[in-house]
Amino acid sequence: MKKIKMRVAALLSMAVFLFTSMSFSKGEGKIVGLDENVSSYVIGNEETGDIYCEKNSDQPRAIASLTKLMTFYLVRDAIEEGKIKLDTSVKADKRTEELTSWEYSALGLKEGESYSVEELLQGLIAVSGNDCAYLLAKTVAGSEEAFAKKMNEKAKELGLKSQKYYNASGIDTKDDKENQSSAKDLFNLARELIKKYPDILKYSSMDEVNIPGKGIKKSSTIPLKDEIKGVDGLKTGTTEKAGYCLISSVDMKELDGNDEFRCLGVVLGADQKDTRDSAMKDLIYYVSRFYSCEKVLDKNRSVESIEEASAKQGYVEVYPAEDLTIISKDNINVATKINLNKNIKAPIKKGEILGSVDVNYGGKDYKVDLVAKDDIEEASFLGKITRSVKNNVNFLLDLLIAR
């Protein structure tokens, strides 16, 4: 019954969104009807980085626990480099338990108890445990201060110019400083993270973290997974300065069945949790409603058939060398232009380049070679003569009919 109610609520939300979505501002990429109690947002394609909708996306803001995406990145780097393992055992210290008692989220680690890196990663992402962030940072770099330095180095390496880190969790520092980033840089960080370490989706899609031997059982803090089909992550963040923040990852094919692409959305500075979730829903449904996969070129479908007397069959068919799929917006056309080589003559080998096709969409240009799908044999001398005579006769008949 609970799941049915959630589905109904999601459908009602989508209906309201589609009703109000008549007024999208053109050219700015902003949704006019989106709640104004959100400081910035962005949503785009996870694979290509194309942005579909944004507001104040380059403006740096406090990011609270969205910080933990960078923490996860560096921990996974350390595992990849062989410095630690998922089964590495880590003992919680006094500071860990202090973080557990704070007002912010924690897994509930106890001083003196040992936990595996795998358990800490689960708590870091699914439960947003500040205690897990601190203990992982200390394990990788020796101290949280040294880890924060690594975080800033990684941000610089990835070209995330707006990002600044003071700790591994995102809580306020003693001198009231807080980690910061723009929505756009968080979008790009999440893209790189999922590309390099897709197992983060395993952690973000968990419903709870359960460690029976240590008395830990906590529900995930990540919203929308049960409300919108296809949502499988990614991270929440909340402090007084940052407001309510959310990064969501979505498999759009799961949502509407046709669109084979993934999206990432970022919402920063919402005034309350419901506003944050509502804004993210609107962004996801906006993409679902107005964007779709268009297979512009199919390597198994001919784009041109050329009459050619030198070919045994009398014609040459050309095919794209590769598929080309574009995520296109309603009412924006994809332009194509075919360019064939001069003097195409048989025999022709399979895969031989016979020209190219230029594709333009949304200011982006794509170029794909055109090739022969199979070997094309040369016509016999008699065949060429017969075809030439036939073509000339047809030409003369056309002239007479035209007169």
The secondary structure of 73-130 as a DSSP string is: HHHHHHHHTTSS-TT-EEE--HHHHHHHTSSS------TT-EEEHHHHHHHHHHS--H
Domains of the chain: residue spans and CATH: 2-291 (3.40.710.10), 298-402 (2.60.410.10)
Angle, alpha carbons 178-180-186 (nearest 5°): 145
At 210, which amino acid appears? N
More confident residue, 343 or 1: 343
pLDDT at 12 over 50: no
Instruction: Tell me the mean pLDDT in the region 270-291.
Output: 95
The DSSP string of 126-149 is HS--HHHHHHHHHHHHSSHHHHHH
Least confident of 25-29, 157-161, 397-401: 25-29
Structure tokens at 104: 């912010």
Give the pLDDT band (50/70/90) at residue 22: very low
* Confidence category of residue 240, pLDDT binned at 50, 70, 90: very high
- HEC secondary structure over 178-201: CCEECHHHHHHHHHHHHHHCCCHH
Q: What's the confidence (pLDDT) of residue 23? A: 43
pLDDT, tens digit (0-9, with 9 covering 90-100), for 107-124:
999 999 999 999 999 999
Mean pLDDT of 260-280: 96
pLDDT in tens, 288-342: 999 998 889 999 999 999 988 788 888 899 999 999 999 988 868 899 999 999 9
- Paired tokens of 322: 């590769």
- Taking the C-alpha atoms of residue 181 and residue 242, their distance in angstroms, rounded to an integer, is 11
Q: What is the pLDDT of residues 68-97, one digit of tens each?
A: 999 999 999 999 999 999 999 999 999 998
State the CB neighbour count (10 A cutoff) for residue 132: 36
**204-214 per-position pLDDT tens digit:** 999 999 999 89
For residue 219, pLDDT beyond 80 = yes
| Residue 318, helix vs strand vs coil | strand
The 3-state secondary structure of 21-46 reads CCCECCCCCCECCCCCCCCEEEEEEC
> What is the overall mean pLDDT for the chain?
88
pLDDT band for 354, please (50, 70, 90 cuts): very high
Convert the pLDDT of each residue in 138-182 to its tens digit: 999 999 999 999 999 999 999 999 999 999 999 998 888 999 999
Residue 112, pLDDT score:
96
Which one is predicted more confidently, 107 or 28? 107
